[in-house]
Structure 1
Amino acid sequence: MTRVIPRTVSGRVGLALLLLVVLIALTGTWFAPHDPNRTLAAPYTPPSGRLPLGADFLGRDVLSRVLSGGRSVLLYSGLATLLAYAGGLTIGLVAGYSRSWLDSVLMRVVDVLLSFPALVFLLLLATAAGRGIGSVVIASAVVQLPPIARIVKTAALEQSVRGYVEAAVARGESTFSVLRREILPNISRTLAADIGLRFTWSVLLIASVNFLGLGLQPPAADWGLMVSENRGGAALNPSAMLIPAALLGVLTLAINLLGDDMSGGDR
């Protein structure tokens, strides 16, 4: 049975932090004291009673933008990770189990994609597809697909020679059934450890492209975009940059702690 409550201290800490950040991201807009796009003070006004986290580079309330900027991070990074895993899992399972010419063809394509630096390839894809967050999400998924496919292939290949898989084949079960019922459940711990890393990469890649102006466009409230927008005023009002950066860091840390716990099995 799949564990719901982590069994390690680090796993419980990761779960608690993840729930906290997700709660802020999903419900923050309800508690934002001001319109996140409204100018209320001079640029980089320090924290005060009216503006607890001060103002950003356009004089907007940092607290309101922080509370409103988490949904886009969860949505776009999660979607990119989901798309990457959908493609990488399919390719990896087929390549790891088929042991035929299909394996060679699929993995040669993966090797070609792996030969490109991730960020450069992402920028090329995003630029070719046109400016916008949709193209950035798809490009981020394509960039992460090759390493996922390799990890899944290695894990599936190891499981495909086990006795229970050979017994299933001898019983006449279909390839889909063997992959779904025999191989996939037994590589789930490996995937659980990797998915946290992939989500972290999605956050970093999408934030990097947003920084270059190819993804989300102002005045969108987004934690990654806030970091790039307010870096010039770090000395005047550091909270405008540090608070969203800290939330991004906590989110990625929490997912990785939870993934490590899930991959460790019973301890």
Structure 2
Amino acid sequence: MRTYTQQIAKAPLSAQFGLFVICVYVFCALFAPFITPFSETEIIADAYAPADASMWLGADNLGRDMFTRLIYGARNTVGVAFATTVLAFLIGGTIGMLSATVGGWFDQVMSRTVDILMAVPQLIFALLILSVVGTNTVSLIFVIAVLDATRVFRISRATAMNVVTLDFVEAARLRGESKLWIISREILPNISAPLIAEFGLRFCFVFLFISGLSFLGLGIQPPLAEWGGMVRENAVLITFGEYTPLLPAAAVALLTVAVNFVVDWLLHLSSGLKD
């Protein structure tokens, strides 16, 4: 624990700022019911009621507290994006490293399947599948994870291909080690740096993608609070000079910047480069 604390203390200001922002978002996501004055779906005022002492940011299009829904949006948006990214890496990373290790027909089948999936624009593919299977949270996570796993497959396979030909991997094969042992003990530790960077980038892309889908009406569905959906529901206020619809968009942008700051720092640490 002391080692981690020392590393954070020595981190650049950008990384410390990113960690602080991420911690604030995580805190809001975990303790949203305790730090918000109202429930997520409670109607407490007229539509678009102005801010007052009880509603710091005013009301939305249905009379719900904007501040409350902004805090709950951290739980829904960030939570779904994180779960989706983890699932995408479990699927794409595992298959990518396995393809590089096994080779042969398995590698060819997986690579050509990924090529086919990546040939279709991701947004169009997601809109098509979600319109068929529905837009509940589970299907949203699974569909986006499968689509994003193709990108993870590409980078994990490419980096693993550079490792499987090295002497220590050949020595492990000659010792009779299983493919799972080779992947977990020899390949994964040696490709962790690019995967760390890719995880941060994938999280940001998924985060923005989910917000975009919600803005179009096919992401996280009402009455759950989601930042992209909140922008769409209250966009009419912008024509009257109100800034509140921009707050969910600012929350998306701030987290994206913070994650990239932290990913840059983690990539620097894992690469072994000196300051």
TM-score, L = length of structure 1 = 0.92
Q: Which whole-Å CA distance do the structure 1 matches of 2:43 and 2:241 have between them?
A: 16
1:161 aligns with 2:165: yes
Q: Which whole-Å CA distance do the structure 1 matches of 2:193 and 2:219 have between them?
A: 33
> Pick from 93, 96, 118: which aligns with 1:92?
96
Give SS of 2:245's match.
helix
Q: What aligned pairs does 1:16-165 form with structure 2 within 5 A after superposition?
A: 16-165=20-169
Following TM superposition, by how much is the alpha carbon of 1:118 offset from its aligned partner in structure 2, in angstroms?
0.6
1:214 aligns with 2:218: yes
Q: How many residues align?
A: 266
> Pick from 244, 261, 268: which aligns with 1:264?
268
Structure 1 residues 26 and 182 mapped into 2: Cα distance closer, same or farther (>3 Å)? Answer: same
Structure 1 residues 237 and 219 mapped into 2: Cα distance closer, same or farther (>3 Å)? Answer: farther
Following TM superposition, by how much is the alpha carbon of 1:167 offset from its aligned partner in structure 2, in angstroms?
2.4
1:254 aligns with 2:258: yes
Q: Which has the higher contact order (CA 8 A, sep 6+)?
A: 1
Contact (CA 8 Å) 1:14, 1:258: kept in 2 or not?
yes
Structure 1 residues 60 and 239 mapped into 2: Cα distance closer, same or farther (>3 Å)? Answer: farther
Q: Which whole-Å CA distance do the structure 2 matches of 1:48 and 1:97 have between them?
A: 62
**Match of residue 178 from structure 2:** 174
Following TM superposition, by how much is the alpha carbon of 1:247 offset from its aligned partner in structure 2, in angstroms?
1.7
Q: Which whole-Å CA distance do the structure 2 matches of 1:122 and 1:80 have between them?
A: 13
Q: Which whole-Å CA distance do the structure 1 matches of 2:16 and 2:165 have between them?
A: 35
Contact (CA 8 Å) 1:56, 1:240: kept in 2 or not?
no
Contact (CA 8 Å) 1:87, 1:145: kept in 2 or not?
yes
Contact (CA 8 Å) 1:133, 1:214: kept in 2 or not?
no
Q: Which whole-Å CA distance do the structure 2 matches of 1:113 and 1:186 have between them?
A: 28
Following TM superposition, by how much is the alpha carbon of 1:47 offset from its aligned partner in structure 2, in angstroms?
2.4
Structure 1 residues 235 and 67 mapped into 2: Cα distance closer, same or farther (>3 Å)? Answer: same
Which segments of 5 or more consecutive residues in structure 2 lack a partner in the other structure?
none
Following TM superposition, by how much is the alpha carbon of 1:246 offset from its aligned partner in structure 2, in angstroms?
1.6
Contact (CA 8 Å) 1:21, 1:247: kept in 2 or not?
no
Q: Which whole-Å CA distance do the structure 2 matches of 1:117 and 1:102 have between them?
A: 25
Contact (CA 8 Å) 1:46, 1:237: kept in 2 or not?
no
Q: Which whole-Å CA distance do the structure 2 matches of 1:38 and 1:237 have between them?
A: 26
CA deviation string 1:130-162 (max 9, x = no partner): 232222211111111111100000110011122
Of residues 111-120 and 168-177 in structure 1, the stretch that sits farther from structure 2 once superposed is: 168-177
Following TM superposition, by how much is the alpha carbon of 1:237 offset from its aligned partner in structure 2, in angstroms?
6.7
Q: What letter is aligned with 2:47? A: P
Backbone CA RMSD of aligned residues: 2.0
Following TM superposition, by how much is the alpha carbon of 1:187 offset from its aligned partner in structure 2, in angstroms?
0.7
